[in-house]
């Protein structure tokens, strides 16, 4: 199945970005009217291409009812409204992974999220459970920035420089299963944005230095939170020998940060923070740690999507929140908290274009196939990879 793993991430982002306006709209455009469909999984039968939102919704509801007890639908916070409404469980990647590790009831886990999350669910679920990703082209541009071959090459260079023994690999959940396996095999661990500080503290108890991938911003922001000076955090450029550093510089580093980022969170700027404060005095600025350090430092609070949702839910009525994360979540929080002012820091913000690829037509398709006794879009992580990746994921679940 094609995941467009090999299209250059930023190009993918630009090509897909045309769907911005539709994404925050509650109207469901038929699949054939989605400009991004060009990049999505195309072997969905044509019978689904032109179905409208209402018909899709009623077919999804009817099929879900037929599959009750057999299939569950998981939905990530960044999913579009016309998908999240069908989720039996909603959450961030950490909670959804934990859910998959704990529940043994449903035979099929239909994962409305992106590829790496469905992989984690497959690794953590029981062997008799099957994970289905409605659109196999729903990847993550940040995860794609850490090409497993490049990370292995980096590790070999660290080994040759005599630095690998004192370095612990830590991968953000947003990464390929093979990189989680690499961590599992080398004493390393997985983290998410809800447990990055605890994971890094654990990592520094094991070894002097951390190799953190793929998101340099989460790594740097967490390092700063733990008091690590900026000059002890280096960015590894996979296109340069030794990542662009000398052995001595690498030896002195506490965190080696991979040169990756999230295009969605890179859109937030300190200018937007200043603009929100000027327009709404007293506003609380709350951003995701995938934003740059400057934005995180200009904000009042930062944290994972679960943290963001909880902070707003528990805030007093009448409070104002400028939020720097994916627009589908921000719009949902605004709707769910009508007694507060909740708005996105970036007024022209775009959604995560890969999360958006889970269109209701795909959900209808995979559910109707399940109801007919056929499994399409099953996501299977090869056993050898899954075993090692589970070691790193289990370490994460213990550290939290
Ligand atoms: O870990 C996740 O689910 C993501 C992508 C963001 C967050 O902070 O929850
Ligand atoms: Fe990946 Fe960014 Fe989308 Fe999250 S918001 S899934 S990091 S591209």
Q: What is the C-alpha radius of gyration for the chain, rounded to an integer number of angstroms?
A: 21
**What distance in Å separates the CA atoms of residue 325 and residue 351, rounded to the nearest whole number?**
9
Encode pLDDT of 17-41 as tens digits.
Answer: 433 444 455 589 999 999 999 999 9
Give strand pairing partners of 322. Answer: 285, 343
Kindly give the distance from the C-alpha atom of residue 45 to the centroid of ligand 1, in angstroms, as a whole number.
Answer: 31
For residue 338, the tally of other CB atoms under 10 A from its CB is 9
**What distance in Å separates the CA atoms of residue 350 and residue 352, rounded to the nearest whole number?**
7
The CB-side HSE value for 365 (13 A sphere, CA atoms) comes to 25
CATH number assigned to the domain covering 9-140+353-381:
3.40.50.10800
Q: Which residues touch 149 (CB under 8 Å, ≥6 apart)? A: none
What sign does the dihedral 100-147-78-94 (CA atoms) show?
A: positive
- Which of 262, 266, 328 is the pocket-test mutation for ligand 2 (most atoms within 8 Å of CB)? 262
**Ligand 2 atom 3, closest CA:** 352
CATH number assigned to the domain covering 265-344:
3.40.50.10800
Predicted pLDDT of residue 349: 66
Query: Relative to the alpha carbon of 120, which ligand is closest?
Result: 1
Q: According to the CATH classification, is domain 146-260 in 2.60.120?
A: no
Q: Are 166 and 378 in contact (CB under 8 A)?
A: no
User: What atom of ligand 1 comes closest to residue 78's alpha carbon?
Assistant: 5
Q: Are 236 and 256 in contact (CB under 8 A)?
A: yes
pTM of the model: 0.92
* Residue 354 Cβ < 6 Å to ligand 2: yes
> Which residues have any ligand 1 atom within 6 Å of their CB?
76, 92-94, 173, 192-193, 288, 304-305
User: What atom of ligand 2 comes closest to residue 78's alpha carbon?
Assistant: 5
**In which element (H, E) is residue 123 found?**
helix 115-124
Query: Relative to the alpha carbon of 306, which ligand is closest?
Result: 1
Q: Do domains 9-140+353-381 and 146-260 have the same CATH topology?
A: yes
Kindly give the distance from the C-alpha atom of residue 117 to the centroid of ligand 1, in angstroms, as a whole number.
Answer: 10
The CA-based angle 218-326-12, given to 5 degrees, is 85
* Residue 142 Cβ < 6 Å to ligand 2: yes
Kindly give the distance from the C-alpha atom of residue 78 to the centroid of ligand 1, in angstroms, as a whole number.
Answer: 8
Query: Relative to the alpha carbon of 114, which ligand is closest?
Result: 2
* Domain ranges, ordered by start, for the chain: 9-140+353-381, 146-260, 265-344
Query: Relative to the alpha carbon of 115, which ligand is closest?
Result: 2
Q: Tell me the average confidence (pLDDT) per consecutive run of 10 residues in the chain, 400 residues long.
A: 31 37 66 94 97 98 97 97 97 88 89 97 94 98 98 98 98 98 98 96 98 98 98 97 98 98 97 97 98 98 97 98 97 97 88 96 98 98 98 91
**What distance in Å separates the CA atoms of residue 44 and residue 61, rounded to the nearest whole number?**
19
Q: Which of 130, 85, 84 is nearest to 109 (CA)?
A: 130
- Which of 74, 77, 260 is the pocket-test mutation for ligand 1 (most atoms within 8 Å of CB)? 77
User: Mapping DSSP to helix (H, G, I), strand (E, B) and coil, where does residue 228 land?
Assistant: coil
* Residue 218 Cβ < 6 Å to ligand 2: no
């Amino acid at each position: 199945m094609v995941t467009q793993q090999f299209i250059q991430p930023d190009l993918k982002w630009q090509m897909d970005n045309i769907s911005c306006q539709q994404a925050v709209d509650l109207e469901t455009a038929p699949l054939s009217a989605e400009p991004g469909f060009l990049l999505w999984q195309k072997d969905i039968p044509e019978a689904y291409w032109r179905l409208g939102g209402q018909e899709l919704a009623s077919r999804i509801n009817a099929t879900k009812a037929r599959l009750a007890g057999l299939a569950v639908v998981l939905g990530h916070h960044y999913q579009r409204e016309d998908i999240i409404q069908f989720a039996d469980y909603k959450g961030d990647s950490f909670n959804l992974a934990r859910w998959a590790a704990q529940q043994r009831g449903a035979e099929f886990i239909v994962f409305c999220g992106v590829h790496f999350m469905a992989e984690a669910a497959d690794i953590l679920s029981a062997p008799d459970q099957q994970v289905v990703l409605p659109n196999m082209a729903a990847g993550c541009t940040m995860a794609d920035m850490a090409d497993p071959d490049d990370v292995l090459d980096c590790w070999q260079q660290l080994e040759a420089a005599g630095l690998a023994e004192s370095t612990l690999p830590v991968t953000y959940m947003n990464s390929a299963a093979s990189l989680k396996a690499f961590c599992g095999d080398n004493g390393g661990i997985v983290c998410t944005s809800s447990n990055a500080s605890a994971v890094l503290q654990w990592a520094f108890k094991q070894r002097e230095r951390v190799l953190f991938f793929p998101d340099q911003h989460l790594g740097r922001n967490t390092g700063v939170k733990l008091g690590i000076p900026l000059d002890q955090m280096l960015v590894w450029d996979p296109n340069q020998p030794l990542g662009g550093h000398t052995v001595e510089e690498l030896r002195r580093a506490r965190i080696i940060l991979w040169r990756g980022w999230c295009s969605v969170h890179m859109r937030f700027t300190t200018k937007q923070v200043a603009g929100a404060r000027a327009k709404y005095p007293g506003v609380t600025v709350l951003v995701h740690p995938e934003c740059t350090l400057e934005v995180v430092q200009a904000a009042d609070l930062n944290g994972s999507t679960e943290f963001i949702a909880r902070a707003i839910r528990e805030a007093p009525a009448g409070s104002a929140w400028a939020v720097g994360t994916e627009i589908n979540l921000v719009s949902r929080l605004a709707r769910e908290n009508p007694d507060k002012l909740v708005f996105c820091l970036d007024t022209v913000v775009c959604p995560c274009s890969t999360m958006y690829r889970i269109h209701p037509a795909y959900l209808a398709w995979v559910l109707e196939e399940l109801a007919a006794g056929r499994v399409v879009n099953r996501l299977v992580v090869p056993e050898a990879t899954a075993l090692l990746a589970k070691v790193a994921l289990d370490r994460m679940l213990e550290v939290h």
